[in-house]
């Protein structure tokens, strides 16, 4: 069973950058597609980005396209989310998630979740 631990969140000003990391254990990481989701207060958890097994296939929500980059290092069992040009509306708890084989944008398709890391962007 996969365990996921996110890190890298924090409080930053608008226009800044952050890089989130998600370390996986207890699974064959290279067999799992990975996703990042976020949940703002009072809102549903929404898709941010996803990446396929090799890292060649990536998918993004329209709201982050061109600003965020998802990547993975299978040797380190880690997936990253580089977030640039952050906006106050990016404020949320960010979760990484895992599912076998193919990436999906629907949160219900993911089997394993981390505990989340808070990202707060001040204006």
Tell me the per-residue pLDDT of 93-116, one tens digit each, with 9 for 90 and over.
999 999 999 999 999 999 999 999
β partners of residue 38: 46, 94
HSE-CB at 35 with a 13 A cutoff on CA atoms is 26
pLDDT of residue 79: 98
d(CA 102, CA 89): 29
Q: What is the length of the chain?
A: 123
Averaged pLDDT for residues 9-37: 96
Of 4, 12, 30, 25, nearest to 95 by C-alpha is 4
């Amino acid at each position: 069973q996969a365990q996921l631990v996110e890190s890298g969140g924090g409080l930053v000003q608008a226009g800044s950058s952050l890089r989130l990391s998600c370390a996986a254990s207890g699974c064959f990481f290279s067999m799992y597609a990975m996703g990042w989701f976020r949940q703002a207060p009072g809102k549903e958890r929404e898709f941010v980005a996803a990446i396929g097994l090799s890292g060649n296939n990536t998918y993004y929500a329209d709201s982050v396209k061109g600003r965020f980059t998802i990547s993975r290092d299978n040797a380190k069992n880690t997936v990253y989310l580089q977030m640039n040009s952050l906006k106050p509306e990016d404020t949320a708890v960010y979760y990484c998630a895992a599912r076998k084989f193919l990436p999906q944008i629907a949160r219900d398709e993911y089997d394993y979740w981390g505990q989340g890391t808070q990202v707060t962007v001040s204006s």
